[in-house]
Structure 1
Amino acid sequence: MFSMKRTRRAGIVAAIAVGVTIVAAGCAGGGTGDGGDGGDGGGDANLSITMLPKNLGNPYFDTSTGGAEEATAEFGGTFEEVGPTEASPTSQVQYIQTAAQQGAGGLIVSANDPEAICDALDEARSAGVKVVTFDSDTNPDCRDLFINQATAEGIAQIQVDLIAEQIGDAGQIAILSASANATNQNAWIEMMEAELEASHPDIELVEVAYGDDDDQTSFDKTAALLQTYPELKGIVSPTTVGIAAAARYLSTSEYKGKVALTGLGTPNQMREYVEDGTVTAFALWNPADLGYLAAFATQALITGEITGADGDSFEAGKLGTFEVEDATVLLGDPYVFDAENIGDFDF
């Protein structure tokens, strides 16, 4: 099932107040001005940007879309967000095809599956559309550039460190992931498993459950994990939908304060659960900055400022200068939110 198309134009910029920028790259300068001043042939560049998140109605992607829309307004492009309501492997194909048919200059996509959308992306690129993935990558052959929120190793490490600290480095834990096909989730989980085996012999990972990035499904999976494993000491949820649903369940259950919960979430989602003691600490990057960076990278590809080759560099407005390595641009390191600092952020 597909949702109705939701359209936003660049002139209607979402008001997302990001109190502090998490990106390691320092703030440098303002926007690039109107689109087309940089790179080859920029004046005639097609700066029509289409954003395709995994699914609509997801607070994380609402925030990243806001950042992309802000950037597109700064460089004078037009912006549209489209997408499915459910994050299934092939649900994005129709939107990719439509964007190409409508003559989009650039497509920014977070992939639900690394392979399922590749044929559609190849067709779009053959039609001249620049394809940038963010958050969750495709097969590298299917896109021009990947905007990585942080290294997979760094994301896996911070989550293992947090849960180990919170449960005293011993006991049973479970992972509550998004969909079984999510590229980024699976990479992080594989590295978490390796880190647990190598450095935390007294922690036992009993199950990886999948909430499909759906609030109710994730809520129910949390309940099932706690019923199945009465000795469970902690849950790691590397998905913003999952961690919020798990926190909602724990906050009114007998397990509050007894079962630790950490993972990846946004401050606005998790604030009440940190303040009421359900959650001690969790991590994330700034999704608004991730979308903002993805939009500027797309503009740089469209105008010819970069090609995606190693050593290419471009200006990303308020975030400063970024460099391409292995067809990837890295936003920065994960950031840990806790009771002392969560009030400083609004996204």
Structure 2
Amino acid sequence: MRHLQSILLTAIAATMLPLAVHAADLKKDLKIAFLPKQINNPYEVIADEGGLAAIKEMGAVGKVVGPSDAGASSQVQYINTLITQRQSAIVIAANDANAVVPYLKKAQAAGIKVVTFDSDTAPEGRQIFVNQANSEGIGRAQVQLLSKLIGPEGGEIAVLSATPNATNQNTWIKWMQEELKKPEYAKLKLVKIAYGNDDDQKSFVETQGLLQAYPNLKGIISPTTVGISAAARYLSTSPKKGQVVITGLGTPNQMREFVKNGTVKAFQLWDPGQLGYLAAYAAANLASGTITGKEGDTFEAGKLGKRTVGKSGEVILGPPTTFDASNIDNFNF
């Protein structure tokens, strides 16, 4: 019996060994700073909280700093301050693919590791990009869902985006446009790409403008959590409710009332908290030297398990979830 216990303990120790070795590999006293697009964006808040939870789990020191607006250069001063503070890593959701790159390169030259998440920079601005899901998949899925919700009759559609320079938005929209070229979407006509600048009131007004300018509009895709909730709020009290389909990317907690009152039938998203969590682990591993960001690198990401760095330093969280009346109450974020 004692021999059996010894074998079992040895087996358990062996299964735990990789995790123990990994934990030991992370440096102590890491300082990791999250820099969101804007500090008060509900989606960004959830993502940053996920990142801080991971940082606490690792025993590192975390902080969140950022601008109140999503302007192209509004993050620059924060990057400069973080360089001065000698952070171990900066995790940034970029407002512009290029505006922050010279400053992030300066951070890298100072030995600070840079991870982008949610919205990427040009590749030279960072070592790793933690992507929500495959960008092509997100863009195409938005069109597929909208088409299903509108039905075979099709009609005019519009996109309500964030800022004109938002890397993630523009990439998704590019893939939406590619998907719309397929014969099965011949009856869907993209008439306008509008920009709400990730501002609630501007997105609300832009939705009003779309419905007035295009009286035959059948659907709006808003691949931004601020935009989709503002658009739904406008539509919920509009005579067009029930006639215009709104879908896009939103959080269940933001969209629950609009699903319940019939304004929105279905929308998609991943868990932004898990996105921040994964980005924090990527940053910690970079700063500890366990990975460099090259294709094929692997690292442990806490509860999310082992992750692999793909082409161009991309790490993918996973496919988005479709939320509707049947499942929305199962989620709380």
- Given that 1:35 and 1:77 are in contact with CA atoms closer than 8 Å, whether structure 2 keeps it comes out as no
In structure 1, runs of 5+ residues without a counterpart are: 1-27
Report the more deviating stretch, 163-172 or 228-237: 163-172
What is the aligned-residue identity percentage?
Answer: 53
Alignment correspondent of 2:56: 73
1:1-347 map, 5 Å:
37-38=24-25, 42-43=27-28, 46-169=29-152, 170-199=154-183, 200-326=185-311, 327-347=313-333
| Structure number with higher relative contact order (C-alpha < 8 Å, ≥ 6 residues apart) | 1
Does the 8 Å contact 2:22/2:300 carry over to 1?
Answer: no
Letter in 2 for 1:177: S
| Counterparts in 2 of 1:263 and 1:33: CA distance versus 1, 3 Å | farther
Alpha-carbon distance between aligned partners in 2 of 1:300 and 1:318, rounded to the nearest angstrom: 15
CA contact (8 A) 1:34 1:74 kept: no
Contact 2:235 2:241 in 1 (8 A): yes
Q: Any conservation in 1 of the 2:199–2:227 contact (CA below 8 Å)? A: yes
Quote the offset at 1:226 in angstroms. 0.1
Instruction: Give the distance between the partners of 1:315 and 1:93, measured in 2 at CA.
Output: 31
CA distance, structure 2, for counterparts of residue 89 and residue 312 of structure 1: 31
Residue 7 of structure 2 aligns with which residue? none
Alpha-carbon distance between aligned partners in 1 of 2:53 and 2:22, rounded to the nearest angstrom: 13
TM-score in terms of structure 1 length:
0.88
Q: Distance in 2 between matches of 1:154 and 1:259?
A: 24
Q: Is the 8 Å Cα contact of residues 160 and 221 (structure 2) preserved in structure 1?
A: yes
Structure 1: which amino acid aligns with 2:321?
Answer: Y
Give the whole-Å Cα distance in 2 for the aligned partners of 1:187 and 1:35.
34
Q: Give the Cα separation in 2 of the matches to 1:220 and 1:339.
A: 27
Deviation digits for residues 86-125 of structure 1, max 9, x if unmatched? 1010000000010010110010000010000001101111
More helix by share: 2
Query: One-letter code of the match for 1:147?
Result: V
**In structure 2, distance between residues paired with 1:103 and 1:142:** 17
Letter in 2 for 1:68: G
Deviations 1:235-272 (A, max 9, x none): 00000000000000001111111100000000000000
Indicate the RMSD between aligned Cα atoms, in angstroms: 1.6
Q: Secondary structure at the match of 1:50?
A: strand
The structure having more radius of gyration, on CA atoms, is 2
- Give the whole-Å Cα distance in 1 for the aligned partners of 2:175 and 2:51: 29
Q: How far is 1:173 from its partner?
A: 0.4
Runs of 4+ more than 2 Å apart:
32-36
Q: Distance in 2 between matches of 1:278 and 1:38?
A: 50
Contact kept in structure 2, 1:107 and 1:132, CA below 8 Å: yes
Residues in 2 aligned to 1:50 and 1:276: alpha-carbon distance in whole angstroms:
39
Q: State the distance in 2 between where 1:198 and 1:36 align.
A: 48
Measured in 1, the distance between the counterparts of 2:51 and 2:22 equals 14
CA distance in 1, matches of 2:54, 2:281: 6
Summarize deviations over 1:164-217 as a string: whole Å, max 9, x none.
011114100000000000001001101101111224111000000000000000
Secondary structure of 1:37 counterpart: helix
Amino acid at match of 2:80: Q
2:292 is aligned with what amino acid?
T
CA contact (8 A) 2:97 2:120 kept: yes
Counterparts of 1:34 and 1:70, CA distance in 2: 21
* Letter in structure 1 aligned against 2:180: L
CA, structure 1 residues 289+313, in 2 after alignment: closer, same or farther (shift >3 Å)?
A: same
| Number of equivalenced pairs | 314
Structure 2's unaligned 5+ residue stretches are: 1-14
Counterpart CA distance in 1 for 2:209 and 2:318 is 35
Asked if the contact 1:48/1:77 (under 8 Å) is kept, the reply is: yes
Equivalent residue letter for 2:56: A
Maintained 8 Å contact 1:53/1:61: yes
**Alpha-carbon distance, 1:34 to partner:** 12
C-alpha distance 34-71 of structure 1, shift in aligned 2 (>3 A):
farther
1:36 to partner: Cα distance: 6.5
**Paired letter, 1:331:** L
Q: Which amino acid counterpart does residue 69 of structure 1 have in structure 2?
A: L
